[in-house]
A and B are shown apart, each in its own frame.
Chain A
Amino acid sequence: MGEVELSCLAYVKMYLHACLFPRCSVNGLLLSSSPAGGAVCVTDCVPLLHTHLPLAPITQLALTQVDVWCAQTQQRIVGYYQANACVSDSSPTPCALKIADKIAEQCNNAVLLMIDGGKMSPDYRVPPIVMYERKDTRWTLKDKHTIMLRQWEETRDIASQLLDSGDHSLLVDFDSHLDDITRDWTNQKLNAKIAELASPANDNLGVCQLGNPVLR
């Protein structure tokens, strides 16, 4: 099926979200600022919850609010990510499938991304993620060769740097926003920090296709 590209910004925030709440399952939405049609470019993400993922009210609320924000900022919800608390099992839970289904109703080639906690170590060589796409009402594993992360090594280094500096605690998910509504779930501050650390884009360096070793 279609190609999916995961931006540095989206990956780093997703990864930091999982690191910020290591004892909880966490989830969030994947966004795209590219028009529909062709490859899916995940350009950003919104971290949602770290408590009670299966419960409906806050999830519904978050989906509505993110929808509104997307309309205002010319973005679309193109997918969903989740990291399970139990690292030995990174398969999508019923709640993950449900939310992904809902997203797929509005977005043809929506993706479901599971972060594999078992593969998150300080020196991991490949992105610890598994992607699923919808084929005839079922979510099936995506061919690794269709998933791309540009500037992978740089992305990975940025994530490590933010963890080491403790800046990952800047990340606000929707749950945290509800605990203190002065906190910004669009994460403008963290976005700026990530942009600061990212060098000017160079398409030829460190492109990572999940199915292949890193190209140089």
Chain B
Amino acid sequence: MAYSFPEEVLEHVFSFLSSDRDRNAVSLVCKSWYDIERWCRRRIFVGNCYAVSPEIVIRRFPELRAVEMKGKPHFADFNLVPEGWGAYAYPWIAAMEEAYPFLEEIKLKRMVVTDESLELISKSYKSFKVLVLTSCEGFTTDGLASIAANCRHLRELDLRESEVEDLSGHWLSHFPDSCTSLVSLNMSCLGSEVSFCALERLVARSPNLRTLRLNRAVPLERLANLIRRAPQLVELGTGAYSAEIRSDTFSNLADAFSACKQLKALSGFWDVVPSYLPAMYSVCSGITSLNLSYAAIPSSDLVKLISQCQNLQRLWVLDYIEDSGLDALAASCKDLQELRVFPSDPFGAEPNVSLTEQGLVSVSEGCPKLESVLYFCRQMSNAALIAIAKNRPNFIRFRLCIIDPQAPDYLTLEPLDAGFGAIVEKCKELRRLSMTGLLTDRVFKYIGSHAKKLEMLSIAFAGDSDLGLHHVLSGCDSLRKLEIRDCPFGDKALLANAAKLETMRSLWMSSCSVSFGACKLLAQKMPRLNVEVIDERGPPDSRPEGCSVERAYVYRTVASRQRLDMPDFVWTHDEDSSLRYS
């Protein structure tokens, strides 16, 4: 019984719980467990920054050390969320400054972060250690300079895929000579050249450096010196991988690589000169992760490289690899778990490479541990998908993008319903699915019936009617995130499944058939759902009744539904007058 255990003991027991789900479960047992747990929770993950407010978080968890948060919905990556929509980090940073003087980690994804925020972070927390900004924007290299200069115990500075206004490379020189704590530095998204001397000195005085991801401006000639100063590196992102072909540059580089006995992950490789790839061969047998998604390497050179990497678990590559390269991958890399093939010419009308559905079929046949795929191609067939599903029932993530939306099975001209149906039927552990191609309501019936563990679904240009959406909302028990664009889904399915929406993190629908009236009704029925109508054409009620809204973003929230940072193209339920939108 709770009273027979002193709090300290319970706290100690709880300290072994790292998963949020476990901690949430614990806090529901009884009031005293709720109280003890909230005082000792150190890490928090907020999947939607608007689902809760800083005040609520701070009130419940007074002793946090690490905060991880996501802002804009995923489709923001493809410009479907207008600029100025929101996801500002500053209010959170400002609120946490007072509440968490011992904060150590901040990880943000798809949020707008300003230089002011970065400066505030750098000056507020004496033991700040980890800053990870994934796909963020709104800051410049001046903000980075503040972080470098003021965070004395900085361990991680990771700017993955963020859009940084690059004023100059000076920021790196702001790391004081006394800073020796760096474990991870990822500056790959930056454009400017940093001072190579400063970079070399920084690397040399960071004995714990495990991850170093350089930007394109670091030339190949400099790479050897950098690696030499950090033979303990586990993850390396090169800069530009091109130089005049010279044997001394080559042997210098090859020597440097051979000293890196712990290297597991490689990335970078802008502007690759394939003749320099063999300089890396000495480390290939230990490599488990290879990101070549910026590298235009012809298939034959790719094959030579990949066949050296027998322990490869993750490969991200451009479609230059072609079907032949994927055949080789299937033959050499039996430990492969994740494959992503990106399009080298996504906007071209004609295929520029020989990459088809066959490559994916080969890999699914040859790689027994393959569980996660993102594949861009220009043709697909039901037969291929059915074969893939039979070969690989262990898929957890399956994302297929056929460049031409609504492309049918190229062999039979039928919809791809049967193919995707096979995927969801066979892959019982499937958690994430993205579909493209010609798809009718039938595929959604299959998904609703079989995809019981599906958590995230992305749909585009698919379906015939509301029935499709209804199948998904009523059938997918584990659904958390649903994002839809350009589908004939509308009011009926939405309103019939209103309660389901509260069990999910969010629903995004753009260019569908959702009316403003339905949005108002939904918001009225469900007080804990925020129904955002995002429409740049002006007030939604100035248009005729049946007119569809441009975008609807529906998410559960315990915060106010009238967020203070709403731009003028967003409408939500007006709490004061329940029938009017502001």
A binds B: no
Residues of A within 8 A of B (CB): none
Residues of B within 8 A of A (CB): none
